[in-house]
Amino acid sequence: MFESSIALRLSRSQGEVVTDIYQNVTPYTHPERWTVQEKKLFDAGRCCWVIGTGSGSVEHCGEPSEEGASYGYCPEHADQFRENCYPNGTRR
């Protein structure tokens, strides 16, 4: 399915090219980071970003995943991940 790789993201900011390097984290490269429900969402091409919890349940985003996004996040949550986390997935 997906292979372990380094994803390069290029963007332009005020005329400069900015390069961010993020490791592509999938259930197949890092199985210890995934719940059964998150893996099912990933395999279905859906975002597994947690948007709510309560009463012993977890609610995930479920929007279509951004192609090549780490964790299989949708475009909105992939951007939040890049803004709030280091390339290895730990919080800033």
3-27 pLDDT, tens digit per residue, is 333 333 334 444 544 444 556 788 9
Domain that holds residue 71: 6-84
Q: What is the tally of structural domains in the chain?
A: 1
* Residue 43 pLDDT exceeds 70: yes
Q: Which residue, among 58, 67, 63, has the nearest Cα to 47 in the 3D structure?
A: 63
pTM, entire model: 0.67
Residues 6+ apart with CB under 8 A from 10: 17, 18, 19
Residue 92 lies inside a defined structural domain of this protein = no
Residue 89 lies inside a defined structural domain of this protein = no
Q: What is the pLDDT of residue 88?
A: 66
Residue 53 lies inside a defined structural domain of this protein = yes
